[in-house]
Amino acid sequence: MRLYTSFGLVFGAFAFLQNVVASPLETSSGEPVVLAIAQFPESNAFGHIVNGERNTIYLSIENKETERNVTLKNIAGSLHHVQNNKLVKNLTKMDYGIPLLDGAPLQLPYAFHSELKPGEYKLNIWAEHVTEGQTYRVTAYDSIVTVVEPEGSFFDIKLLLTYLIATGILGGLGYYTYLTLVPQPKKRKTVPAVSAPVGTVTATGAGGYQEEWIPEHHLKKSKKAKASGTATSGDEASGVESGTEGRRRKGKK
């Protein structure tokens, strides 16, 4: 893989030198001389493209045109099969629309994402510029890269959330299936038991009443009235007995 990356760097440098040598021979009516070369950062020296992550490559663009204005239009790229150069995927196009000053190199990042099967692919990156209404394309990178999967981690938040969501969905489907297929037991109707009356019931001529619902001062009054009534009837009975006894004594005399 390091051999492929080195080959890409050598190829880009060769194209850069070729354009520099040929620049004095260009006329104002032909294609302007714009040099472009791309390379991965030092942290990705082997040119790995990680699926699902932001991959960045840096372009160095220099305008060699002295008589005409050159404007950088966009930077784009594509991935191809190594064997037959068949197109696999077009990468993101980044629009710029900035002028390229004569003899002033410009470094720009180009970021893209990949969701491909791991393996080797041919990466092609180019820059398009506009001069006098005409659009031209300059190849900045044309080499073989390797698409790899990201390194897994047990503490990956996205992975944990995915597992939790999947577990919740499966649990809900299982519970719904259980309620649908398994017959549920029928609920038995229970007859409420009649509760016995609470408290002391005092019977009267028409019915009964519960003393606990009667205010206490009313109960005291009713008890006093009963006591006084009992005492009066006792006095009357004793008076009647004494009168009868006196009459009996008079008759004996």
Ranges of each domain in the chain: 2-148, 208-252
- What distance in Å separates the CA atoms of residue 62 and residue 108, rounded to the nearest whole number? 11
Residue 227 carries which side chain, given as an amino acid letter?
A: A
Tokens of 85: 């150069």
Output the pLDDT for position 75.
Answer: 96
Output the pLDDT for position 137.
Answer: 94
Contact (Cβ atoms closer than 8 angstroms) between residue 32 and residue 26? yes
In the block, which residue shows the tokens 């050159």? 70
Contact (Cβ atoms closer than 8 angstroms) between residue 57 and residue 90? no
Tokens of 124: 């092609």
Contact (Cβ atoms closer than 8 angstroms) between residue 121 and residue 145? yes
Handedness of CA 140, 42, 150, 117 (dihedral sign): positive
Going residue by residue through the chain, which has 253 residues, state the pLDDT in tens, using 9 for 90 and above: 444 445 445 445 544 444 444 333 334 458 889 999 999 999 888 889 999 899 999 999 999 988 889 999 999 999 999 999 999 999 999 999 999 998 889 999 999 999 999 999 999 999 999 998 899 999 999 999 999 998 765 556 777 788 889 999 999 998 888 888 877 677 666 766 655 555 555 555 545 555 566 667 666 666 565 555 554 555 544 554 555 555 555 445 4
Domain 2-148 has CATH 2.60.40.10: yes
Overall residue count recorded for the chain in this entry: 253
> By three-state DSSP, how is residue 243 classified?
helix
- CA–chain centroid gap for 139, Å, is 41
Radius of gyration, alpha carbons of the chain:
53
What predicted TM-score, i.e. pTM, was given to this entire model? 0.51
- What distance in Å separates the CA atoms of residue 123 and residue 57, rounded to the nearest whole number? 11
Output the pLDDT for position 160.
Answer: 79
List strand residue ranges (DSSP E) for the chain, in order.
Answer: 34-39, 48-50, 55-63, 70-80, 87-90, 94-100, 106-112, 119-131, 134-148, 201-203, 208-210
N-to-C CA span, the chain? 158
